[in-house]
Structure formats: structure tokens, C-alpha cells
């Protein structure tokens, strides 16, 4: 399929959206960052930290694709704002873990609550086997995207070229 046909169908990254609402989600995240008085990248790292267990600064840097010094400054800003805290690892006192504070959750949750509630309602309309298919697609798609990101991040890699116009 050529670029013009991709653009016409809304599947080209610069056409303003994709089939999965990525640009709309970007807009929501931009608004959330603005409401919290955060840089967009700071909010992205806060989101990464909110997805599970506490992480080290190095793990945040890798997940966000940022340098360790940049993440250190970013975490300083988030900590100063009261959104994260640094704690010593319980099993290895040399490691410092970063975790999201209850204050951050209290400020971020209202921004996303209505969307989460509506998503749950929408998903309840699907049968279990449909949801399993959707979940499998999402997992495979995420793996594909992560693999592609790793491929194009390699220095000197030219395996992914832009189509000619």
C-alpha cells in the first residue's frame, strides 16, 4: 500500500490519528500534564511509574528512552512536586527505588476516571472469547512495536526506511 492510500485511510502517523485513537490519547495526556503543571515527558515517566511496582531511575530511563542524567533531573522535579518519592530497596539498601505517591494518584485519577469507566462499560458488551482475542492482539501489537523500536534504535541500522514518494 502506498503512502497516499495510508494517509487517506488515516493510518499514516502524520495524518492526525490512527485506528486506535493514539492521537486522542496523546491529547488527553497533554491536558493531564498541563493540569498537573508538568512537562509532557515528566508526565510520561509518571505514567510509566504508575503501572506497577517501584522502579529504579535506570529502569525509568530505559522505559522512557531517556538518559540517566535526564531522568535524574526529571525525578527531582516529580519529587519536588510531591508526585514520586525515592525509597531504599528493602532487599538491597544500595538501590534506590522510585514510587508514585498517593497524592499523585489522587490528582491524576480524576482526569482518567470517566474514560476508564466508559472503557469498562464498552468492554462489557464483548463476549469473553472476543476479549481474549482483543487482549491477544494488543499484546502481540505491543511486542511488535517494542521489537521495531529496538531495531531502529541500533546505531547505523537502516533496516526500516521511509517509503519513496
Mean pLDDT of 16-25: 63
Class of domain 39-101: mainly alpha
Domain residue spans of the chain: 1-35, 39-101
Tell me the per-residue pLDDT of 92-107, one tens digit each, with 9 for 90 and over: 888 999 999 999 999 9
- Check whether 119 has a pLDDT greater than 60: yes
What separation in angstroms does the CA of 17 have from each of 30, 53, 122, 135? 15, 31, 21, 21
pTM of the model: 0.73
Amino acid at each position: 500500500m502506498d503512502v497516499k492510500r495510508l494517509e487517506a485511510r488515516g493510518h499514516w502517523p502524520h495524518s492526525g490519528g490512527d485506528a486506535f485513537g493514539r492521537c486522542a490519547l496523546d491529547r488527553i495526556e497533554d491536558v493531564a500534564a498541563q493540569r498537573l503543571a508538568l512537562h509532557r515527558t515528566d508526565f510520561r515517566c509518571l505514567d510509566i511509574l504508575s503501572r506497577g511496582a517501584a522502579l529504579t531511575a535506570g529502569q525509568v530511563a530505559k522505559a522512557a528512552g531517556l538518559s540517566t542524567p535526564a531522568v535524574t533531573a526529571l525525578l527531582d522535579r516529580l519529587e519536588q512536586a510531591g508526585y514520586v518519592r525515592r525509597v531504599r530497596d528493602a532487599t538491597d539498601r544500595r538501590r534506590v527505588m522510585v514510587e508514585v505517591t498517593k497524592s499523585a494518584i489522587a490528582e491524576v485519577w480524576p482526569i482518567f476516571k470517566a474514560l476508564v469507566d466508559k472503557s469498562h462499560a464498552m468492554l462489557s458488551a464483548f463476549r469473553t472469547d472476543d476479549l481474549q482475542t482483543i487482549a491477544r492482539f494488543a499484546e502481540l501489537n505491543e511486542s511488535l512495536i517494542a521489537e521495531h523500536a529496538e531495531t531502529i534504535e541500533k546505531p547505523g541500522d537502516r533496516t526500516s526506511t521511509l517509503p519513496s514518494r
